[in-house]
Structure 1
Amino acid sequence: MRYMMLIHHDEAALAAAPQKELWADYAAFNEALAKAGLSGGERLEPSAKSTIVRTGDGRAEILDGPYADTREQFAGYFFVDVPSLEEAVAWARRCPSSRFGTIEVRPVHDPRPGN
């Protein structure tokens, strides 16, 4: 089953973390994913660089900056194709950003009939 691990972390806490150690941890995490035959992830730019588009009432509203004023921001994602939710959760626990926020594990919808 495919799962998406959505990374939500506190950008300020992550920026304050020891950067050399953090990126070494991410390199080890990515290497472990590769050794397990799983795909790598994508890192996003900070939320301050985002653009928000909302449409309603026949008009579009375009805003700069984060979608919501929250402690955690959406930072990136990984896909893992593993046999069970438990294994996907185990990978999420290993993700270095789990120390700075939340990793949401969500099944990827299978569009085939009966799934």
Structure 2
Amino acid sequence: IMKKNEQCIILLSCCFLFTNPLADPHRIHEVLKRCAKLANNSISQSLVHLSLFLDILESYLFFVRQKKIIEDTNDAISQLTSAVEEKINEQGDSQETTAHLVECRARW
């Protein structure tokens, strides 16, 4: 059985299967929402999985802004951003938190 973070990574890769000329925006949005749910479960175990939220956010931005396949009607991007900030604030200022924040900022 795969861990939640591994499921999230695989599912996130699958959302790109729906980007053909007959793209199904509802299905893409559904898959990204499921990824966010899995990431939320993973990050509650360890802040190491914070990058999952960043990967999901990056995918949302790709589908909304570059491909223009889905619309951000539910403000999913702002919800993801606030979820990341909330998780960071919950963790406090430990060395682990600081190290992962530096790593995530370097990606962006």
Q: TM tier, shorter chain? A: under 0.3
TM-score (norm 1): 0.26
Q: Higher strand share goes to which structure?
A: 1
TM-score, normalised to structure 2's length?
A: 0.27
Which of the pair is proportionally richer in helix? 2
- Determine which structure has greater relative contact order: mean sequence separation of CA pairs < 8 Å that are 6+ residues apart, divided by chain length: 1
Asked which structure has the greater CA Rg, the reply is: 1
